[in-house]
Amino acid sequence: MKQNDKPKINIAVVDDHYTVLSGYQSILEKLDYVNSVHGFANSKELFDAMKQTNFDLILLDIQLKDEDGLDICKIIKEYNMNIKVIMQSSFDNENYILEAHKINADGYILKGNSPNELKLAIERVVYHNEKYFTPVANQLILNEHSLNIQKHNRSKTDLSEREIEIMLLICKGKVDKEIAEILNISEATASTHRQNIMKKIGCHKIAEIIAYAIKNGFYTIS
């Protein structure tokens, strides 16, 4: 889609800092596909305006005075799922990022990042119907997804938590003596755990333990 072919959009920016609002307005008004930019200091102002204006995109600060931007995002999505919401924050806070992803926010960007990333986020979210989370945020989401897969797989295995822990150390090339030192157990106990792991998963070689761990999402080769 060429720049001039993009349908023009109405954007709302919600932030209780005037300098941030004016800064975003200055950047956004220069984009050819932006029809209007409206700035609001709180959710009441935004919701009142939404009765009169159909916003295609809302840039929403997470930390507003006396308000939680994530709660506002939930309300917006309940009101109209088609409205795109990109959360903005000064921090790459893990809890903020994961919650934003959980409540179906369309993006997460950092205020200090370049105008080019803001433009990229808008085009991905509005014109390609994709999510855009800044690289740091995206990596956190991927890591969380990987952990959830591991937890799911662990719930299906007969291995104990200790055996899984030892299996991961085996995958990292640790021998019984090293495992014993790391976990503060005897070498004989480490050896017994290794044998139990092999018996439970039906293998006879270290390579087979590693293959099992990779196949079932316990271990990733980096």
Helix (H) or strand (E) holding 38: strand 34-40
The SS3 assignment for 217 reads coil
Sorted by where each begins, the domain ranges of the chain are 3-140, 157-215
pLDDT at 93: 84
CATH architecture of 157-215: Orthogonal Bundle (1.10)
Q: Encode pLDDT of 8-53 as tens digits.
A: 999 999 999 988 889 999 999 999 999 999 999 999 999 999 999 9
Nearest C-alpha neighbor of 41 from the set 73, 74, 57, 19 = 19
Fold of 3-140: Rossmann fold (3.40.50)
Mean pLDDT rounded to a whole number for the chain: 88
Q: Do 196 and 163 contact (CB within 8 A), yes or no?
A: yes
Give the global pTM: 0.65
pLDDT band of residue 156 (cuts 50, 70, 90) is low
Q: Encode pLDDT of 53-107 as tens digits.
A: 999 999 999 999 889 999 999 999 999 999 999 999 888 888 888 889 889 999 9
